[in-house]
C-alpha cells in the first residue's frame, strides 16, 4: 500500500468519500512549531556527569496539518508533517529516514535537511453493522503509556520530547458487539501479501475488567502471535498486557518462542498526573535483537509526572531506563523535563531539558548528550 498505485487509490477513495457524503462536515487544522536547541556531547565519565566538551546548535521548524471530512456514512482524513531542520536535528532525521522500513522522507546533508511524513490517509465507510476503514491509520491496541507489546501495528517514535505512535497502511473492520465490546479485524499486507501482518481482537468487560484478547499472524517472521490485556481502577488505574510469539513450523515451537509484557499505573492527584511502567522484553537478548531492535535489553522502566501549576502553566518530568539487569548502574537512561506556558488561546511557549546517557539501541551507558531547547507552538 505504500507505493504510488496504493497512494493514488487512497486519494481517490478519500475524494469519493468527500464527494458522495451527504450533510458533510469538514475540518482543517494543525500547528506550526519552531524549536531552537543547544546540544552538548561529553565522553564517558567514570565519576559521574562530565561537563560537555562540545556544543552545537540545532533548530527545527515543523508544520503539522490535517484535513478531514465526514458524512452520514462516509469519512476521510489526510494529515502530514513537514519540517526544515539544521544541525543535530538534521543529522538525526537523515539517520531516521535511512533506517529500513522507515516512512520518513528526508533530503539534505548532516547540516541542513527537509523531512516529510504522511501521518494518515484513510477513507471510511460506516455500515449498519460495522465500520470499514482503509489506508494509513493508527491502530492502537495497547494499554501502555510508552511500551505496548500488543501494539503490533502502531510504531513507537521517541524522537520528540513526548512519545508518539505512527500509523500503518491497513484495512480495518470494526464490528460492535455491545456498548462496551467489539470485534476488530485488521489486515496490513505488503507488496507480497504473504509477508503482511493480520490480526483479530475481541474487547469487552470481563469480570469487571476492561480487557481484550488478540490473535495474529506475522507473515514476515512466519510466527503466530497471541496477546491479552486488561485495565481496572482502584483509585489509581492499573493496566497490564502481554504478548506471546511462537513459530508453528519450528521443530521445537515452544523452545523458540518468546514473550513480552508490560505492567503500569496512572494516577491523578489534585494538580498532578503520575504514571509508571515496567516493560519485560523476554525476547530481547544479545543474540536475538531482531525481535525488538529498538529496545534490545531485557527490562525497562519508565516514569512520568505532570504538574498543572496554573491554568496556563505546566511542568512535566519523565525518566526512562533500560538494562539487562534491573537498575544496573551501567544502564543507559533518559531524563526529560518540559515547562509550558500558554501565552494565548492557540499559542504556547516551552522550555525543555533533555539528558541522555548512553545509547538505548546498543545498550551502552557511556557518554552523555545534553539538549536545552526553547519552543514556540501555534495552533490553527
pLDDT at 287: 45
* 252: β partners: none
pLDDT of residue 363: 64
Between CA 304 and CA 372 the distance in angstroms is 19
Q: CB-based burial of residue 117 (10 Å sphere; 0-12 exposed, 13-18 middle, 19+ buried)?
A: buried
d(CA 379, CA 30): 6
Where residue 251 falls among pLDDT bands split at 50, 70, 90?
confident
What's the confidence (pLDDT) of residue 138?
Answer: 92
Residue 51 has pLDDT above 90, yes or no: no
User: Which has more pLDDT, 180 or 195?
Assistant: 195
- What tens digit of pLDDT does each residue of 67-100 get? 999 998 999 999 999 999 998 889 888 988 888 8
| CA–CA gap between residue 228 and residue 242 (Å, rounded) | 6
Stretch among 110-119, 162-171, 225-234 having the lowest mean pLDDT: 162-171
What's the pTM value of the predicted model, to 2 decimals? 0.83
How many C-beta atoms lie closer than 10 Å to residue 189's C-beta? 17
* Mean pLDDT (the chain, rounded): 85
What are the grid coordinates assigned to 363, written together?
Answer: 545498550
The single residue listed with the C-alpha cell 469487552 is: 204
The DSSP-derived string for 69-128 is EE-SSEEEEEEEEEEEEEHHHHHHHHHHHTSTT---EEEE-SSEEEEEEEEEEEEEEE-S
Res 46 pLDDT > 70: no
C-alpha grid cell, residue 12: 481517490
345 Cβ neighbours under 8 A, 6+ residues apart:
none
Question: Can you tell me the distance from the alpha carbon of 7 to that of 380, in angstroms, rounded to the nearest whole number?
Answer: 27
Amino acid at each position: 500500500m505504500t507505493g504510488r498505485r496504493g497512494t493514488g487509490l487512497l486519494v481517490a477513495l478519500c475524494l469519493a468519500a468527500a464527494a458522495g457524503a451527504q450533510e458533510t462536515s469538514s475540518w482543517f487544522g494543525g500547528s506550526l512549531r519552531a524549536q531552537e536547541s543547544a546540544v552538548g556531547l561529553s565522553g564517558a565519565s567514570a565519576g559521574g556527569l562530565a561537563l560537555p566538551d562540545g556544543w552545537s546548535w540545532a533548530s527545527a521548524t515543523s508544520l503539522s496539518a490535517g484535513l478531514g471530512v465526514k458524512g452520514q456514512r462516509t469519512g476521510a482524513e489526510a494529515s502530514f508533517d513537514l519540517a526544515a531542520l539544521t544541525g543535530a536535528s538534521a543529522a538525526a532525521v537523515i539517520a531516521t529516514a535511512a533506517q529500513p522500513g522507515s516512512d520518513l522522507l528526508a533530503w539534505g546533508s548532516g547540516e541542513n535537511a527537509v523531512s516529510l511524513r504522511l501521518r494518515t490517509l484513510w477513507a471510511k465507510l460506516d455500515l449498519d453493522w460495522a465500520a470499514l476503514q482503509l489506508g494509513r491509520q493508527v491502530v492502537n491496541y495497547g494499554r501502555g503509556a510508552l511500551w505496548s507489546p500488543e501494539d503490533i501495528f502502531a510504531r513507537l517514535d521517541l524522537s520528540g520530547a513526548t512519545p508518539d505512535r505512527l500509523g500503518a497502511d491497513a484495512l480495518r473492520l470494526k464490528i460492535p458487539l455491545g456498548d462496551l465490546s467489539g470485534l476488530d479485524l485488521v489486515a496490513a499486507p505488503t507488496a507480497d501479501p504473504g509477508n503482511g501482518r493480520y490480526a483479530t481482537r475481541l474487547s469487552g468487560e470481563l469480570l469487571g475488567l476492561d480487557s481484550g484478547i488478540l490473535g495474529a499472524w506475522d507473515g514476515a517472521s512466519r510466527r503466530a502471535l497471541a496477546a491479552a490485556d486488561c485495565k481496572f481502577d482502584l483509585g489509581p488505574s492499573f493496566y497490564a498486557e502481554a504478548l506471546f510469539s511462537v513459530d508453528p513450523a519450528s521443530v521445537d515451537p515452544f523452545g523458540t518462542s518468546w514473550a513480552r509484557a508490560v505492567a503500569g499505573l496512572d494516577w491523578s492527584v489534585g494538580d498532578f498526573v503520575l504514571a509508571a511502567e515496567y516493560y519485560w522484553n523476554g525476547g530481547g537478548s544479545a543474540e536475538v535483537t531482531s525481535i525488538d531492535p529498538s529496545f534490545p535489553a531485557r527490562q525497562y522502566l519508565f516514569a512520568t509526572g505532570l504538574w498543572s501549576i496554573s491554568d496556563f502553566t505546566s511542568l512535566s518530568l519523565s525518566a526512562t531506563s533500560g538494562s539487562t539487569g534491573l537498575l544496573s548502574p551501567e544502564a543507559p537512561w533518559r531524563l526529560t523535563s518540559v515547562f509550558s506556558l500558554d501565552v494565548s488561546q492557540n499559542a504556547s511557549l516551552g522550555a525543555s531539558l533533555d539528558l541522555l546517557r548512553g545509547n538505548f539501541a546498543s545498550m551502552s551507558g557511556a557518554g552523555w548528550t545534553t539538549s536545552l531547547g526553547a519552543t514556540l507552538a501555534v495552533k490553527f
